[in-house]
């Protein structure tokens, strides 16, 4: 295993709380489909009151070690990109259940922009999961059981807006404030908002490494009323990403409101040996 793979799988397993100290087992491994039977097994629907996505950039060499086996970095002008997405979510539930059975919660998701080519030759752009934070225990536990999104529980100290500004802070040290004006951060790698929009998460696909890097889980999302608008970054402290990529800096931010979202059933693809 090369250094990039080692760093990537270590970071992902740390986020999921798994111990990689056990020795490899020489016995035949069960089919990966069985190991993820309960993960991403059913379509999930939810409504986003709002979703704020802050895109960060760093030199490709800084981001590359986090990219999981089977995926490739989605780079632009020598930079790799990460995302911190904050979502005020309502009525999350398996598709087909009534809305009153859904869960309301707050989410911060940490992702990398990547590409994936399937065994059939189909190419995808999307986001690789690094970790997720939520203010509800039911999501932290349920998310760990039924997804590869690596949830952990945090307190939300502030998440409010006055029509012109939005400020989100959590007990993990995450603290981001944006203002309702279309101004790219100083020194952004993007020349304009058209370029920046190509790296505005969430993306249609999310990916996670599974089975010790032997497989990729792909989940497709679909959305209604998805009309992200550019916003300015007033301040951004994102410890989770700063620890992984110390030289990552904000380069754009987008805010969407009133979005209906669905995560389709996950697809698992085993990687070539």
For the residues 219-238, what does the mean pLDDT come to? 89
For the residues 186-192, what does the mean pLDDT come to? 95
Predicted local confidence at residue 4, as pLDDT? 38
Most confident among 90-99, 131-140, 195-204, 244-253 (mean pLDDT):
244-253
Predicted local confidence at residue 95, as pLDDT? 86
pTM of the model: 0.82
For the residues 122-135, what does the mean pLDDT come to? 93
Predicted local confidence at residue 201, as pLDDT? 66
**Which domains, ranges and CATH numbers included, belong to the chain?**
3-17+31-270 (2.40.400.10)
DSSP reduced 3-state for 272? coil
Predicted local confidence at residue 6, as pLDDT? 38
Nearest to 266 by CA among 39, 45, 92: 39
What is the DSSP secondary-structure string of 147-203?
-SS-EEE--EEEEEE-SSEEEEEETTS-EEEEESS--PPTT-S-SSHHHHHTT-SSP
Q: How many other CB atoms are found less than 10 A from the CB of residue 273?
A: 4
**Which residue's structure tokens are 């970071």?**
11
Predicted local confidence at residue 164, as pLDDT? 76
> Is residue 225 pLDDT above 60, yes or no?
yes
Predicted local confidence at residue 41, as pLDDT? 65
For the residues 19-30, what does the mean pLDDT come to? 38
> Is residue 33 pLDDT above 50, yes or no?
no
- Average model confidence (pLDDT) for the chain? 83
pLDDT digits (tens, 9 = 90+) for 92-115: 888 888 889 899 999 999 999 999
């Amino acid at each position: 295993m090369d250094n990039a793979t080692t760093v990537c799988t270590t970071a992902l397993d740390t986020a999921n709380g798994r111990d990689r100290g056990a020795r490899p087992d020489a016995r035949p491994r069960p089919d990966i489909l069985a190991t993820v039977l309960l993960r991403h097994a059913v379509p999930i629907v939810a409504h986003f009151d709002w979703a704020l996505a802050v895109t960060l950039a760093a030199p490709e060499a800084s981001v590359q070690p986090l990219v999981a086996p089977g995926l490739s970095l989605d780079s632009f002008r020598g930079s790799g990109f990460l995302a911190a997405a904050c979502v005020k979510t309502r009525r999350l539930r398996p598709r087909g259940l009534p809305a009153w059975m859904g869960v309301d919660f707050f989410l911060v998701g940490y992702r990398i922009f990547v590409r994936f080519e399937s065994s059939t030759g189909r190419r995808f752009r999307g986001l690789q999961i690094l970790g997720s934070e939520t203010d509800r225990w039911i999501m932290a536990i349920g998310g760990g059981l039924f997804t590869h999104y690596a949830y952990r529980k945090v307190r939300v100290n502030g998440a409010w807006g006055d029509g012109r500004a939005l400020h989100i802070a959590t007990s993990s040290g995450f603290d981001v404030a944006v203002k309702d004006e279309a101004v790219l951060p100083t020194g952004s790698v993007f020349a304009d908002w058209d370029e920046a929009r190509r790296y505005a998460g969430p993306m249609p696909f999310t990916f996670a490494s599974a089975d010790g890097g032997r497989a990729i889980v792909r989940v497709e999302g679909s959305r209604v009323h998805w009309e992200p608008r550019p916003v300015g970054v007033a301040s951004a402290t994102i410890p989770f990403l700063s620890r992984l990529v110390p030289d990552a800096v904000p380069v754009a931010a987008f805010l969407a409101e009133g979005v209906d979202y669905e995560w389709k059933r996950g697809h698992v693809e085993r990687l070539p040996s």
